[in-house]
């Protein structure tokens, strides 16, 4: 046992169990969660895709509400005959006597509100996607730090124990165990590097940059977890602020306006006609009215389609309301569980270091074997990685709750970013 307490081994044990995850410095070249979301909001591909979809949606809404263009006709008759030519110049002006176009334009106002609110919801979902990608990447890089330092320490211990085995200072089982642990940690290091690289590549893609140009990531630390509102207040906030609800309300109003428009469409647009006519060498004027008679086509198909769209819009509105209420309850429950576990989970790393310190002291005094020491070191590394995972889960719990209720939990949010609202919906 005196040989086990030799100075080189103690030094290696100090190196092994004193290893802590490397943390990225919060410098100018580090990318934290808030900066990642701001980049995504400003110019990320998900933002650009949302803008493109908004443009398409607004164009589709406006397409059906354009006023019909007037027509101008010039016509010459009696060509190739001994009669003097008849020359007509006529203007045709459509006139919406039923008010269908007016109803469609009112539907377009609600349609623009719907498109804008849907785009805002899509943008918020895109920002959450970027947040999840950043948390995954930061967690993977933190885990890589833990595995890398564990591998370096185990490799050095395996090398020293191999020399001591040749000198007969340790048993063959001890030398084999340390060699096995070093090889296992090397395999884990390869997997951790691949996971970290994949997570970084995915984050770069969502930010619209090449992976080499992506700056280093800031350390993953737990968020502030302020008190959440009660279920009634949270639900009321969600129904008032969630843009998904506003979008579906606007969709119902838009569909109602379209039903009214198609009902008025039984009577088509009247055309006012006016112009000049030159016949027999005399110039005269002309005036007329053209009106389609709804004998065969009473706009039945369009009215049926509009009624079906209204029913669908109402069903979707009710479904979104139920989904929002359920989402609020689920997010509140998860957030409450995360807050309750915060006092324990936030100390995983500290307690892991304490386990390592006690094991190191016991090993120095000859109370535990090397195998037990390595098990304690593994437990310490697992604890540090568990804290990384919990930090990511805590961030997601907070972000998803804020997403669910449509509001920040406190004025001093770690993410100084306003929640999205429809900027031009008028609601």
Q: Bigger pLDDT: 91 or 28?
A: 91
Q: What is the tens place of the pLDDT at every residue in 195-253?
A: 999 999 999 999 999 999 999 999 988 888 888 889 999 999 999 999 999 999 999 99
Q: Where are the beta strands (DSSP E) in 84-234?
A: 86-95, 216-217
- Rounded Cα–Cα distance for residues 157 and 185 (Å): 12
Residue 252 near residue 318, CB atoms below 8 Å: no
**Alpha-carbon distances, residue 110 vs 58, 105, 151, 241 (angstroms):** 11, 9, 61, 17
- First-to-last alpha carbon distance for the chain, in angstroms, is 78
Question: SS3 of 118, please?
Answer: helix
Q: Which long-range contacts (CB under 8 A, 24 or more apart) does 34-38 make?
A: 34/414, 34/415, 34/416, 34/417, 36/130, 36/131, 36/133, 36/134, 36/203, 36/207, 37/127, 37/130, 37/131, 37/134, 37/415, 37/417, 38/417
pTM (two decimals): 0.81
- Domain extents for the chain? 7-405
As a whole number of angstroms, the distance between CA 202 and CA 210 comes to 10
CATH code of domain 7-405: 1.20.1600.10
Token pair belonging to 243: 């843009």
The vertex-363 CA angle with 358 and 369, nearest 5°, equals 120
**Please, which pLDDT band fits residue 306 given cuts at 50, 70 and 90?**
very high
In tens, the pLDDT along 360-415 reads: 677 666 677 777 877 887 888 888 888 899 999 999 999 999 999 988 776 455 55
């Amino acid at each position: 046992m005196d040989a086990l307490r030799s100075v080189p081994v103690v030094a290696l044990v100090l190196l092994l169990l004193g290893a802590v995850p490397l943390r990225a410095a919060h410098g100018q070249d580090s990318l934290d969660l808030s900066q990642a979301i701001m980049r995504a909001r400003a110019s990320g591909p998900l933002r650009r895709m949302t803008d493109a979809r908004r443009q398409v949606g607004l164009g589709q809404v406006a397409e059906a509400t354009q006023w019909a263009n007037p027509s101008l006709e010039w016509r010459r008759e009696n060509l190739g005959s001994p009669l003097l030519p008849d020359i007509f110049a006529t203007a045709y002006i459509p006139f919406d006597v039923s008010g269908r176009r007016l109803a469609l334009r009112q539907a377009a106002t609600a349609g623009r509100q719907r498109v804008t609110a849907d785009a805002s919801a899509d943008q918020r979902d895109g920002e959450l996607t970027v947040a999840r990608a950043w948390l995954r990447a930061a967690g993977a890089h933190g885990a890589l730090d833990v595995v890398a330092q564990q591998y370096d320490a185990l490799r050095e211990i395996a090398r020293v124990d191999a020399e001591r085995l040749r000198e007969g200072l340790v048993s063959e089982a001890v030398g084999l165990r340390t060699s096995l642990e070093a090889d296992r940690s090397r395999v884990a290091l390869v997997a951790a590097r691949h996971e970290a690289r994949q997570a970084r590549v995915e984050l770069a893609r969502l930010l619209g940059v090449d992976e080499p140009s992506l700056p280093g990531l800031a350390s993953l630390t737990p968020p502030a977890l302020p008190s959440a509102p009660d279920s009634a207040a949270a639900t009321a906030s969600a129904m008032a602020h969630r843009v998904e609800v506003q979008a579906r309300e606007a969709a119902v109003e838009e569909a109602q306006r379209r039903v009214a428009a198609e009902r008025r469409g039984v009577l088509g647009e009247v055309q006012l006609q006016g112009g000049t006519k030159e016949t027999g060498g005399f110039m005269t004027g002309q005036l007329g009215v053209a009106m389609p008679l709804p004998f065969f086509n009473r706009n039945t198909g369009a009215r049926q389609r509009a009624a079906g769209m209204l029913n669908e819009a109402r069903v979707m509105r009710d479904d979104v309301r139920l989904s929002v209420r359920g989402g609020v309850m689920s997010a509140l429950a998860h957030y409450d569980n995360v807050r309750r576990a915060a006092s324990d989970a936030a100390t995983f790393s500290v307690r892991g270091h304490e386990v390592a310190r006690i094991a190191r002291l016991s090993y120095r005094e000859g109370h535990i074997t090397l195998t037990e020491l390595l098990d304690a070191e593994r437990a310490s590394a697992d604890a540090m990685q568990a804290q990384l995972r919990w930090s990511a889960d805590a961030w997601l719990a907070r972000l998803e709750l804020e997403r669910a209720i449509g509001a920040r939990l406190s004025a001093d949010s770690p993410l100084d970013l306003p929640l999205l609202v429809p900027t031009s919906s008028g609601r």
